[in-house]
Amino acid sequence: MDTKEPFLILLVLFILVGLAYSPFKEANQNKNSNGNPSSSVGVTSGNLGNSSNKEIAENIRDAEENIKRLEENLNKKIDEKNRSPYYGKIRMSNISGLYGDDPSQEYTYLSTNLSKNETIKITDWYLKSEITGYYATIGKASLLPFPFAKTESDVVLQQMDRVVLTKGFSPIGISFRTNKCTGYFEENRTFVPSLSLQCPEPRDEKLPVFSGVYDRNDECLDIIERIPRCTTKGSQFIRDLPDTVPSSCKTYLTTQINYNTCVAIHFGDTDFPSDEYRIYLNKFGPLWRKKQDKINLHDENGLVVDSISY
């Protein structure tokens, strides 16, 4: 796009204003010099003056309408000049939790509008307030998360992916891509919004034989069938079990029903990785206003990908 276009439009605006108001200026000059608008005959003079004023008013209205259209066109061209090539491919939702005091409950969604084989790296993109001028940069994320283990990679989105972009801090210390086992992270932690609890059920795993005595083995299987998805069992649970439960069953319950084992068993599944990222900006203080602000999502070159206003 020609960078001179906005300046040419501004020049046209000034010319239009001059043309619209010059008749009005001349009429005032005539009035000031003669005491009233120039004319040669009494009654006809008044009619001509009214007609001239009406024409001037119409010219002013036309000029104002032209100025408004040109201003809109100028703003549009400025927006297009600052627009990212990824505009329309990544969209941002309104911010949830904006009026609360907990930054870890303040988030927005990024959704994708990509073709089948298209990918976009959003690491180093940033959100910026037009009012405060504050900004926060999107960092990396772990593709195979383990709590507080910094094994992070660039965030590369593809078709159907979405991002929960949170202002505050991660309950597990890192940004991450969810998978079919990350529901275990919800136990004893709070994620906003909540993680999907779609872990494989313990009863559906390939279970060992816990006892050569059928009744004892069946007793363990009954216990496993009652364990909810994405739930581990600790020592208190074991202490509350009947003495008839085999020790091999108790060991299995405490060591094999958890996130790590779930990953080890299901990492090779085609549906193991999910299509959602949890990205944390790690900001505590103010970034944008709670009311009347505009937040822009910028790419790594500073161009605008999407905006939200409220």
The whole-number average pLDDT for the span 281-302 is 95
Given a cut of 80, whether residue 22 has pLDDT beyond it is: no
- Position 269 confidence tier, pLDDT thresholds 50, 70, 90: very high
Given a cut of 80, whether residue 310 has pLDDT beyond it is: yes
- Is 241 exposed, middle or buried, given 0-12, 13-18 or 19+ CB atoms closer than 10 A? middle
The answer to whether 102 and 168 are in contact (CB under 8 A) is: yes
pLDDT at position 62, please?
80
- Position 15 confidence tier, pLDDT thresholds 50, 70, 90: low
Comparing C-alpha atoms, which of 54, 37, 55 is closest to residue 46?
A: 37
pTM: 0.75
DSSP class of residue 187 equals T
Q: How far, in Å, CA of 197 to CA of 261, rounded?
A: 16
Instruction: Read off the pLDDT of residues 114-147 as tens digits, 9 standing for 90 and up.
Output: 999 999 999 999 999 999 999 999 999 999 999 9
The whole-number average pLDDT for the span 173-177 is 98
The answer to whether 279 and 224 are in contact (CB under 8 A) is: no
Q: How far, in Å, CA of 201 to CA of 32, rounded?
A: 93
**Structure token pair of residue 251:** 């060991």
Length of the chain: 310
My answer on whether omega of the bond before 6 falls inside 30° of 0, hence cis, is no
pLDDT at position 5, please?
55
**Structure token pair of residue 186:** 């919800």
Distance of CA 224 to the CA centre of its chain: 40
Q: How far, in Å, CA of 173 to CA of 136, rounded?
A: 17
pLDDT at position 174, please?
98
- Position 39 confidence tier, pLDDT thresholds 50, 70, 90: very low
**Structure token pair of residue 233:** 């069992």
pLDDT at position 7, please?
53
Instruction: Read off the pLDDT of residues 66-111 as tens digits, 9 standing for 90 and up.
Output: 777 776 676 566 667 889 999 999 999 999 999 999 999 999 999 9
Q: How far, in Å, CA of 301 to CA of 61, rounded?
A: 42
